[in-house]
Amino acid sequence: MGANSSSISELPENEYLQKLSGSEPISENDPFWNQLLSFSFTTPTNSADLKLLEEATISVCKSLVEKNPRTGNLGSLIKVFLSRTKELKISAECQNHLFIWQAHNALFIICCLLKVFISRMSEEELQLHFTYEEKAGPSSYGAECEDLIEELLCCLIQLIVEIPLLDITYSISLEAVTTLIVFLSCQLFHKEILRESIIHRYLMHGRCLPYTSRLVKTLLYNFIRQERSPPPGTHVFQQQTDGGGLLYGIASGVATGLWTVFTLGGVGSKASAQLEQCSPLASQSLLLLLVLANLTDTPDTPNPYRQAIMSFKNTQDNTAFSSSNPHAFQINFNSLYTALCDQQKSDQATLLLYMLLHQNSNVRTYVLARTDIENLVLPILEILYHVEERNSHHVYMALIILLILTEDDGFNRSIHEVILKNITWYAERVLTEISLGSLLILVVIRTIQYNMTRTRDKYLHTNCLAALANMSAQFRSLHQYAAQRIISYTCRHLRRYVYVLDKLYFPHSHCSTLQHCFSTLSDNGEELLSLTCSHILRSYASSLFSLLSKKHNKVLEQATQSLRGSLGSNDSPLPDYHFWEMSDCLHFSETKLRHAQDLNVIEEVIRMMLEIINSCLTNSLHHNPNLVYALLYKRDLFEQFRTHPSFQDIMQNIDLVISFFSSRLEQAGAELSVERVLEIIKQGAVALPKDRLRKFPELKFKYVEEEQPEEFFIPRDIQLFTMDSG
């Protein structure tokens, strides 16, 4: 580095870097700094080049780590940067390219070195490298070095919020944001959540605190504006592409690893990478905002950045700010909403949307009042539809956003009034015209189905079902395909329930005993249940009872109680009617336990789907003839479960609707067309007395965040850096 352009291959032998990392102290007033900072650099544009940079500078960094406690050259470099930032605002106004260029280069070097230092030492050790007094001993470290750290942090925040964003200041603004992210990357090297951090303390107290609302506001506007990196020729240093400065390339890996919790290891999605290339400042600003918002509270002070995010208001809101929150501010909600709609392919933007909907009531109220809600919901549905291509955390956030939205009855009604045309990304069926509500149902059911067959995550399908349940009372004019999928998905699990039950109790049978029972017995549900329990008791050994989970299905519980009662004592041992040897029981125990667990999950899904169907029939039967049609088409399977002890109560209304409309169809004669059947259903919906349907409590589920969400959001002990530790 120095007055000439530098390349990666030249760095190990660069005389200025060697002097910086050498054994001689360099005063902050030494002309050396002007020579060091007068460099241009060819920007690495991929991970391979970044790795080459790390390998080329490893000797310099290791030497500086070793010698800096004696030379204090890092502290001198920081003081040089601090002195130059005092005139940055004037330099920007006067278009002083040279001054901004050298200030940027100083920050560039600081951030590169800081990344290495943080990866190799604790915060306490880092403090010792931030200052040096020539005539003082080691005991002089401490207060002054802490002040220097705080001064640098405060300077970076001032640079972000006060320097106007121009072509010539874009790069230094980007590096300032990135340097703050690198400062916060200490968390990556700790297995536990950092609850007492030197860096956190400075950012949340003291000189940095008054800038809280301005910093959050600036970062949000950086995200909203999505300013692209200026083209070559407008930068203050040489640039190959519009992908951002070298420091962006280096530290974006740190930032992504620090905050992209979705990837479980710091590798961003393709969509995120593309967005970063479009606007590196917007991407880095969003990452910094998310990190700041999730710093842990201190015992005496809540996180001020989270408070600011929770309380900011629309610029059109003229109500007074609460005196209890000094960090509140105003921002243009229309611009924010547009940016959130446009950027949902980025998992970081999805996380921001989640935070705002969950924590800021002003934003949530505004979003729910929008008349173009489809602009926000459609990108979320696309995330869920392409679940195979998304990481699990991105899918989780998208699903929780839907759950939060469906808590509002107005939203649940309005989505059925929005008609969409030609949804090209939905491949299972051509949808030339469908309501947003029906499309939401289709995508959520598809997500549940994918989860049940692939990931098998209980919490994911629970949240999916909760969103459908919240919507069920307001189902309106369901598309015939959406109605068909609701019923067919329920029937699929009813069949699966029979299959797993059969595998659990009759694994040696060459034929499917329970399926045979279901297909050959009459409609007498009591006879069916009695025969099922009889088979269970005769073929199930006591050894397997002990292996089943506490939440085993009610059929088995009733059968066990019935048998013990017949023996006259609850303490009597179960007779062994099993035809296997004990070794057979042990051999099949693991498989049986898995089947028992599957049975519990399937039963929960069936129960919830039946409640969703029942809620729709009870509250909006006359608005959904397609759902009644689909239910009648599959009535034989539903009738088999009318007296099942786990579903008996919820089946009453469904059975009543099936019986009522079946009777009217029989009276109308045979060979009815689809149009005629739907006409009879619409007429019957008006004629069916509403008081005949049993009322159940309204299905309402509310998302509740964990008490310590940072356990989920903040990654720990992730070794992103590839520096040679030797």
pLDDT at 168 over 80: yes
pLDDT at 196: 77
Handedness of CA 366, 372, 376, 378 (dihedral sign): positive
Pure H helices in 121-211: 123-128, 143-162, 170-183, 198-204
pLDDT at 78 over 80: yes
pLDDT at 509: 54
pLDDT at 46 over 90: no
pLDDT at 718: 38
The span from the CA of 21 to the CA of 79, in Å, is 16
DSSP 37-62: T--EEPPP-SHHHHHHHHHHHHHHHH
The span from the CA of 100 to the CA of 352, in Å, is 32
The span from the CA of 378 to the CA of 344, in Å, is 10
Maximum mean pLDDT: which of 79-93, 105-119, 337-351: 337-351
Q: Give, in degrees to the nearest 5, the angle at Cα 373 between 370 and 379.
A: 145
Span 318-363, pLDDT tens digits: 888 877 778 889 999 999 999 999 999 999 999 999 999 999 999 9
Maximum mean pLDDT: which of 39-43, 296-300, 494-498: 494-498
Of residues 408, 445, 438, the one with CA closest to residue 423? 438
How does residue 582 score in pLDDT terms, banded at 50, 70 and 90? very low
The span from the CA of 645 to the CA of 354, in Å, is 39
Within 10 angstroms of residue 571's Cβ, the number of other Cβ atoms is 7
Maximum mean pLDDT: which of 244-253, 278-287, 320-329, 717-726: 278-287
CB 698 within 8 A of CB 92: no
pLDDT at 443 over 70: yes
How does residue 502 score in pLDDT terms, banded at 50, 70 and 90? confident
DSSP state of 453: I
What amino acid is encoded at 126 in this protein? Answer: L
Of residues 176, 289, 295, the one with CA closest to residue 224? 289
How does residue 508 score in pLDDT terms, banded at 50, 70 and 90? low
In the chain, how long is the greatest CA-to-CA distance? Answer: 106
Looking at per-residue pLDDT, the higher value among 186 and 555 belongs to 186
pLDDT at 548: 33
Of residues 180, 192, 54, 119, the one with CA closest to residue 720? 119
The tokens describing 443, both together, are: 């995508």
pLDDT at 281: 92
pLDDT at 419: 96
Q: Which percentage of the chain shows pLDDT scores above 70? A: 73
pLDDT at 262 over 70: no
pLDDT at 268: 41
The span from the CA of 579 to the CA of 582, in Å, is 10
Lowest mean per-residue pLDDT among 180-194, 338-352, 712-726:
712-726
DSSP state of 571: T
CB 329 within 8 A of CB 309: no
Looking at per-residue pLDDT, the higher value among 23 and 7 belongs to 23
Which secondary structure element, helix H or strand E, spans residue 433, and what is its range?
strand 433-435
CB 651 within 8 A of CB 641: yes
Q: Give, in degrees to the nearest 5, the angle at Cα 497 between 496 and 499.
A: 60
pLDDT at 253: 39
pLDDT at 569: 45
pLDDT at 546 over 70: no
**Average of per-residue pLDDT across 224-228:** 92
pLDDT at 510 over 80: no
pLDDT at 536: 40
CB 256 within 8 A of CB 193: no
Provide the phi-psi class of 132: left if phi over 0, else alpha when psi is between -120 and 50, else beta. beta
pLDDT at 629 over 90: yes
Looking at per-residue pLDDT, the higher value among 517 and 125 belongs to 125
Pure H helices in 279-391: 280-293, 304-311, 333-342, 347-359, 361-369, 374-385
Please report, to the nearest 10 degrees, the dihedral formed by the alpha carbons of residues 322, 326, 332, 337 taken in order.
-90
**Average of per-residue pLDDT across 396-410:** 95
pLDDT at 16 over 80: yes
How does residue 608 score in pLDDT terms, banded at 50, 70 and 90? very high
**Average of per-residue pLDDT across 186-207:** 79
Tell me the whole-structure pTM to 2 decimals. Answer: 0.81
Mean pLDDT of the chain: 77
pLDDT at 690: 80
pLDDT at 132: 53
Q: Which percentage of the chain shows pLDDT scores above 90? A: 37
pLDDT at 571 over 80: no
The SS3 call for residue 328 is coil
Maximum mean pLDDT: which of 90-99, 247-256, 374-383: 374-383
How does residue 704 score in pLDDT terms, banded at 50, 70 and 90? confident
pLDDT at 339: 96
CB 213 within 8 A of CB 328: yes
